Structure 1
Amino acid sequence: MTATRYSVNCSILLTDLPLAERPAAAKAAGFDGVEFWWPFATSTPAQDEVDAFVRTITDAGVQLTGLNFNAGNMPGGDRGLVSWPARSGEFRDNLDVVTRIGEATGCTGFNALYGNRVEDSTPAAQDDLAAENLALAARAVARIGGTVLVEPVSGTPAYPLKTSADAIAAIDRAGEENIGLLFDVFHLSVNGDDVDAARAAYADRIAHVQIADAPGRDQPGTGDLPIARWVEDLAAGGYDGWIGLEYKPATEQSAADPFAWLPRARRSASN
């Protein structure tokens, strides 16, 4: 069986460091992969900003395993532009720069957060727009062998994709082959989805995995979720991609050593 490959989400972990220093810190901690939410203030950052970001990855000697499309103001409650009529143009403007970053780094997984329901549109109209935008994104990244990821999310009532089945329905409406399910066991569990049943039902649709324990969204072992078993079951079911560590240290002990749960010998993708 292929060894499990873990990547550090540098947008939620190692936040005591400037963003530009986090890939190197992940490497120093023993990891070979990193992933990011959209790291820029706009959909179309200046080329020198893009080049500087790419250098943080390449200079650290890590693989960029995942990158979000611009999702808006995440701290302010935004959860994506894909289905948001007023900001659809920003999403479409984002496609080329995301693809160029993927081409420069070898990244092929791109998370397109669906977007919250908005008062000045209808769910049906938003879903139609999302299908168009997801298809456009899939065609954009197809030229570099990329896959668009669609993710159920918890904690935001206005976000309509709560379960794996919700995400699969959105993927199927878009109708492109290179769109897959982002299987985040924390969000699915918090939303009440049956993680075991979803894994079995959609094993061939899972394109990326992220983990955090619940309650608390801290490192595995701090909550009640059987994460180790789920990771083993995913591998047994054929998943051989990266496992993104997307958790938030909730205690001083966890902040001091956010990777304590994972022996160093298991952190490198080559082990």
Structure 2
Amino acid sequence: MRDMLAEEVDPKVVRSRLADLGLQAGAWSLPVDWRGDAGRFAHDLEQLSRFAEAAAVVGARQTGTWVMPETLATLEPDGNRSSLLAATAEMHVQRLGAIARVLANHGVRLGLEVIGVESFRSGRGVPFVTRLSELDRQLGAIWQESANLGILVDGFHLYAADETIEAGFAWGVDRIVWVHVADLPTSSRSDRSAIQDHDRGLPGENGAIDSGQLLRRLAEEGYSGPVTAEPGAKCRSLAGRSAQEIARLVASAMNAVWPQPTP
């Protein structure tokens, strides 16, 4: 959405072009830096409405963001761990709640993603939310902020956190806003502690992460939202490929794990 508006492309033209191609818009990245500086957050929040309006016109009514796996601040030797966690939770609830309310004005939903990859954490902060099962314990109050808040289920992070597929359905399928699928690279070890967030493979590439099982479960529950392949920019299987080649490879991988209709 950011690029589309920066280049002054009419979202109605994009929607029409998608329709001509028999395509439907999926989800879009949230253009708000909400985890750090308050001034930057306020600026981005002020701009969010125009992005959400354009997204709604295009038909992309889902966006998402990841919650912090650890606190930004470190715990001093004489510090209070509970107070640090409470302050981090309060920031999440206030800022994500404000974002969700802006999006709700345009019929856009916000999915919260949990980063399960251990190596993503710096180790300097206090662990905050590292598994979906911890979300309610730390951020249970967030669901009262806006009805358009939900879950972004990422199969890669479920695997990295050693959580089952069912963890993604803890709030019901209606709460699932967006789904990401990927696998470990072909040559990767299945040691979860060694997983790197940037080092991913196409869905079904390694076989360690069963994207097909997740997608079948979603289909059984009637999920109808966007599913995004997320092998990442550094995916070795896509390195050096043209945009057209990448599109074909990703489409082939998705078709291979996509649930087939029952005869």
Q: TM-score if structure 1 supplies the norm length?
A: 0.65
Larger radius of gyration: 2
The residue number in structure 2 matching 1:108 is 61
Shift of 1:89: 1.8
Q: Do the aligned partners of residues 54 and 123 (structure 1) sit closer, same or farther apart at CA in structure 2, a change above 3 Å counting? A: farther
Deviations along 1:93-142, whole A, 9 cap, x unmatched? 24213322223212211213335632389432232121011211221121
- Contact 2:64 2:178 (C-alpha < 8 Å) held by counterparts: no
Count residues with an aligned counterpart. 213
Distance in 2 (CA, whole Å) between partners of 1:232 and 1:92 is: 36
Opposite residue 101 of structure 2, the aligned amino acid is R
Deviations along 1:17-60, whole A, 9 cap, x unmatched? xxxxxxxxxxxxxxxxxxxxx745xxxxxx95163384784364
- What is the RMSD computed on CA atoms of the aligned residues? 3.3
The residue number in structure 1 matching 2:228 is 244
- Contact 2:15 2:57 (C-alpha < 8 Å) held by counterparts: no
Shift of 1:151: 0.6
Shift of 1:236: 1.0
Distance in 2 (CA, whole Å) between partners of 1:190 and 1:58 is: 36
The residue number in structure 1 matching 2:49 is 96
Shift of 1:263: 4.3
- Contact 1:219 1:254 (C-alpha < 8 Å) held by counterparts: no
- Contact 2:114 2:129 (C-alpha < 8 Å) held by counterparts: yes
Are positions 1:157 and 2:140 aligned together?
A: no
The residue number in structure 2 matching 1:222 is 205
- Contact 2:30 2:64 (C-alpha < 8 Å) held by counterparts: yes
Correspondence 1:126-145 to 2 at 5 A? 126-145=88-107
**Could you list the runs of 5+ residues in structure 2 that have no partner in the other structure?**
76-83, 186-198
Deviations along 1:226-266, whole A, 9 cap, x unmatched? 111211012112322221111233225894433332449x7
Shift of 1:179: 0.2
**Could you list the runs of 5+ residues in structure 1 that have no partner in the other structure?**
1-37, 41-46, 72-80
Distance in 2 (CA, whole Å) between partners of 1:51 and 1:100 is: 14
Distance in 1 (CA, whole Å) between partners of 2:219 and 2:236 is: 28
Q: Which of 44, 49, 56 lines up with 2:6 in the alignment?
A: 49
Are positions 1:203 and 2:172 aligned together?
A: yes
Opposite residue 168 of structure 2, the aligned amino acid is R
Are positions 1:118 and 2:45 aligned together?
A: no
Q: Do the aligned partners of residues 124 and 50 (structure 1) sit closer, same or farther apart at CA in structure 2, a change above 3 Å counting? A: farther
- Contact 2:29 2:64 (C-alpha < 8 Å) held by counterparts: yes
Are positions 1:187 and 2:157 aligned together?
A: yes
- Contact 2:203 2:229 (C-alpha < 8 Å) held by counterparts: no
Distance in 2 (CA, whole Å) between partners of 1:109 and 1:100 is: 12
Q: Do the aligned partners of residues 229 and 259 (structure 1) sit closer, same or farther apart at CA in structure 2, a change above 3 Å counting? A: same
Question: Structure with the greater relative contact order (CA < 8 A, sep ≥ 6): 1 or 2?
Answer: 1
Q: Which of 20, 30, 44 lines up with 1:69 in the alignment?
A: 30
Q: Which moved more, 1:138-147 or 1:114-123?
A: 114-123
Percent identical: 17
Q: Which of 25, 34, 42 lines up with 1:82 in the alignment?
A: 34
Are positions 1:258 and 2:250 aligned together?
A: yes
Q: TM-score if structure 2 supplies the norm length?
A: 0.67
Deviations along 1:123-171, whole A, 9 cap, x unmatched? 3223212101121122112122221111112352058432212344566
Are positions 1:173 and 2:127 aligned together?
A: no
Q: Do the aligned partners of residues 253 and 120 (structure 1) sit closer, same or farther apart at CA in structure 2, a change above 3 Å counting? A: closer
The residue number in structure 2 matching 1:78 is none
The structure carrying a bigger helix percent of its residues is 2
- Contact 1:211 1:243 (C-alpha < 8 Å) held by counterparts: yes
- Contact 1:58 1:105 (C-alpha < 8 Å) held by counterparts: yes
The residue number in structure 1 matching 2:192 is none
Distance in 2 (CA, whole Å) between partners of 1:111 and 1:261 is: 23
Distance in 2 (CA, whole Å) between partners of 1:200 and 1:67 is: 22
Q: Do the aligned partners of residues 143 and 89 (structure 1) sit closer, same or farther apart at CA in structure 2, a change above 3 Å counting? A: closer
